[in-house]
Amino acid sequence: MQTLNMKLRDGSEKSVKCHTLIYTRMNGVYKLALRKSGRHWIVSEFKFGAKVCTVTGYYKGMPIASGTLPLKDARICALVDLDLLVDRIGFDKFDAAMSDPKPF
């Protein structure tokens, strides 16, 4: 488990424990942070801690809060949600946002 230093809107930083998630798509390899926040697992960008997506869990085809999932299942669901995000917005836009991340 690693520590992610998230930049807050007031300029301060908050340290949060997170797990590393490696996402590969086409020619890109991205290091992301997977952290648990309340009832959900959240995928964040590693440099600033900006939220990329919220992980959605499924039980018998119905969406559920992902906070009940163990880490292994949360990683699988996070990779699926990232694939859906990239398919929805396009790889070029995702790659541009990840190569030049902005905290807000």
Q: To the nearest whole number, what is the mean pLDDT of the chain?
A: 86
Maximum pairwise Cα distance, the chain: 42
- Determine the Cα–Cα distance for residues 3 and 7; give it in Å rounded to an integer: 13
pLDDT, tens digit (0-9, with 9 covering 90-100), for 53-86: 999 988 888 988 898 899 999 999 999 999 999 9
User: What's the pLDDT band for 15 if we cut at 50, 70, 90?
Assistant: confident
DSSP H helices in the chain: 71-89, 91-99
Q: Per residue in 33-55, pLDDT tens?
A: 999 988 899 998 887 788 899 99
Kindly list the domain boundaries of the chain, sorted by start residue: 2-99
Q: 16, 27 in Cβ contact below 8 A?
A: no
